[in-house]
């Protein structure tokens, strides 16, 4: 059985020239800290702070040669904080030295306690200080994660390729909206490049030096969205073992990209609206809001008509999100961009797989440009990647690309109309599932949310089935 009185925190460093004080502190604090380290002079104190990374430092204001002016204690405080700016230091002052305590706080001490101390007072003070240290470490860790994953490595973000008139309008809107702090709503079918637009806006904004944090609301279960976005405090719900800052707070100072905003549950939409209006977020279970400074870029494959449906989306939230609205054209409406996209992906995947870029026959290029590409640029990219992987020495031909109906090609014994209505006596589960998924996708023009709703599955489950069947 676990010891209920086991220490709560890792390490405390106590600095005092009085050996009796060090022994008393060590015995008292071992119920709170797993390790209590002591030092009686500045050199040992600096070495211990570097070696042990203590949660809290207890520093005597007058720790040497009977001094009473706290000069040496304050000087050591300065050295400690210069070497470790995030260190939590509690100053120990004799005879309730208020002036010394005030000066220590001005120099960066977190708190102070008078000597001789009351044990309960000391324990309360160090627990509070250690909890503050833990909160600082948690925020620093979360921000480091954001910095590591929010932005791709320089040069790794694919460019927005296209010279067709629809893409010229998109680039013009990006150039005009990016330098402002206006919220942006990006509309478009799946695979049109909505995240690329978001990254282009961020890259050209005044926040370009800060992270852009992406949250895919279509990939997070409904039960977790609240905690994921807004954060939570310890004990807010059964599995809340500690405080956690949400993605909104983690993105403060930079850009928050909310992908698939149409998947935000109706009951959470007012909470996001409050964040946008008041520029503060209240974690689940918390009593006080936390100020945030974010620019929001949202994206969805919902049509404008669907967004105007109050049953799906709050109109006051929509007005906050679409200060600037950028609608991406499907690839079939800018076929003249297909050759440039093909060449870009051929070069990209040839380098990725360390092989020469395959040549394309004229017939292949013509077929690629003529294809409707229901999955848009994403589908074209996957088709090129597959072709590069399987390419031989001969130029690629139209048949090297999945341009026909996969269900009909792979199951010739099934009549073409089976793609619309599965054959009643076909009991092959994989084949029937593929037909139903493709039917739903075609019916809803590859709108993943609508297709998933009709099939009665989540977006994530539909994506898995699409990947499974090569759709």
Q: Residue 415: pLDDT above 90? A: no
Which residue matches tokens 């199951």?
411
pLDDT digits (tens, 9 = 90+) for 108-161: 998 888 888 889 989 999 998 888 887 777 666 555 555 544 444 444 556 789
Nearest to 215 by CA among 288, 125, 294, 119: 294
332-400 and 429-469 in the same fold = no
Tell me which H or E stretch contains 371.
Answer: none
CA 383 to chain centre: 29
pLDDT at 408: 36
pLDDT at 4 over 70: no
pLDDT of 58 = 94
Q: Residue 202: count other Cβ atoms within 10 Å of its Cβ.
A: 24
Point out the least confidently predicted range of 39-43, 55-59, 412-416, 429-433.
412-416
The answer to whether residue 237 scores a pLDDT higher than 90 is no
Quick one: average pLDDT of 283-290?
Answer: 84
Q: pLDDT tier at 416 (50, 70, 90 boundaries)? A: very low
Q: What pLDDT does 243 receive?
A: 74
DSSP string, 265-293: -GGGHHHHHHHHHHSEE--BT-SS-EE--
| pLDDT, tens digit, 9 for 90 and up, residues 160-209 | 899 999 999 999 999 999 999 999 999 999 899 999 999 999 999 999 98
Q: What is the pTM of this model?
A: 0.60
pLDDT at 413 over 50: no
Architecture of the domain whose range is 166-329 = 3-Layer(aba) Sandwich (3.40)
- Coil/strand/helix, residue 245: strand
HSE (CB half, 13 Å, CA atoms) of 257?
Answer: 23
Quote the tokens at residue 165.
Answer: 């008139």
Beta strand 295-300 with 324-327 is: unpaired
Q: Does the pLDDT at position 1 exceed 70?
A: no
Per-residue pLDDT, 218: 82
Cβ contact 42:72 at 8 Å: yes
Residue with the larger pLDDT of the pair 385 and 234:
385
Task: Label residues 77-88 b or e (16+ Cβ within 10 Å = b).
Answer: beebbeebeebb
Domain 429-469 fold is: Arc Repressor Mutant, subunit A (1.10.10)
Domain boundaries, the chain: 9-139, 166-329, 332-400, 429-469
Task: Look at residue 409 in the predicted model and tell me its pLDDT.
Answer: 36
Return d(Cα 251, Cα 296) in angstroms, integer.
10
**Which band of pLDDT confidence, cut at 50, 70 and 90, is reported for residue 393?**
confident
Alpha helices in 231-375 (DSSP H): 247-250, 269-278, 304-307, 315-321, 338-352, 362-370
266-275 pLDDT per residue, tens: 999 999 999 9
Please give the CATH architecture assigned to the domain spanning 332-400: Orthogonal Bundle (1.10)
pLDDT value at 332 more than 50: yes
Class at the top of the CATH hierarchy for domain 9-139: alpha beta
Name the pairing type of β-strands 280-281 and 290-291. Answer: antiparallel
């Amino acid at each position: 059985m676990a010891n209920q009185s086991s220490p709560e925190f890792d390490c405390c460093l106590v600095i005092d020239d009085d050996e009796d004080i060090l022994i008393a502190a060590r015995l008292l604090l071992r119920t709170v800290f797993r390790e209590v380290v002591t030092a009686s002079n500045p050199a040992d104190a600096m070495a211990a702070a570097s070696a042990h990374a203590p949660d809290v430092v207890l520093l005597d204001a007058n720790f040497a040669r009977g001094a009473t002016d706290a000069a040496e204690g304050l000087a050591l405080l300065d050295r400690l904080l210069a070497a470790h700016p995030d260190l939590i230091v509690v100053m120990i002052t004799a005879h309730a030295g208020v002036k010394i305590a005030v000066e220590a706080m001005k120099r960066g001490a977190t708190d102070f306690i008078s000597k001789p101390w009351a044990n309960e007072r000391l324990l309360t003070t160090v627990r509070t200080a250690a909890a503050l240290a833990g909160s600082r470490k948690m925020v620093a860790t979360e921000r480091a994660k954001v910095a590591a994953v929010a932005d791709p490595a320089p040069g790794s973000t694919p460019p927005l390729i296209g010279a067709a008139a629809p893409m010229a309008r998109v680039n013009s809107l990006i150039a005009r909206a990016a330098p402002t702090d206006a919220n942006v709503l990006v509309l478009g079918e799946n695979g049109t490049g909505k995240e690329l637009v978001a990254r282009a806006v961020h890259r050209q904004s005044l926040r370009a030096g800060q992270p852009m944090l992406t949250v895919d609301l279509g990939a997070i279960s409904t039960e977790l969205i609240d905690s994921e976005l807004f954060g939570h405090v310890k004990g807010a719900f059964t599995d809340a073992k500690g405080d956690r800052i949400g993605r909104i707070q983690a993105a403060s100072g930079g850009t928050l990209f909310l992908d698939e905003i149409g998947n935000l549950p109706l009951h959470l939409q007012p909470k996001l609206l409050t964040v946008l209006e008041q520029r503060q977020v209240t974690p689940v279970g918390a009593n006080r809001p936390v100020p945030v400074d974010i620019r929001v870029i949202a994206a969805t494959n919902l049509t404008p008509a669907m967004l105007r449906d109050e049953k799906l989306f709050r109109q006051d939230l929509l007005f906050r999100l679409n200060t600037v609205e950028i609608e991406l054209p499907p690839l079939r409406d800018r076929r003249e961009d297909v050759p440039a996209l093909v060449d870009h992906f051929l070069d990209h995947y040839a380098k990725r797989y360390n092989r020469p870029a395959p040549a394309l026959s004229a017939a292949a290029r013509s077929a690629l440009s003529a294809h409707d590409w229901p999955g848009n640029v994403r589908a074209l990219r996957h088709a090129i990647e597959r072709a590069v992987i399987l390419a031989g020495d001969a130029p690629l031909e139209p048949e090297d690309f999945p341009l026909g109906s996969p269900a009909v090609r792979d199951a010739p014994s099934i009549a073409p109309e089976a793609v619309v209505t599965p054959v009643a006596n076909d009991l092959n589960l994989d084949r029937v599932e593929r037909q139903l998924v493709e039917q739903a996708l075609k019916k809803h023009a590859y709108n993943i949310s609508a297709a998933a709703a009709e099939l009665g599955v989540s977006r994530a489950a539909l994506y898995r089935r699409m990947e499974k069947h090569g759709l």
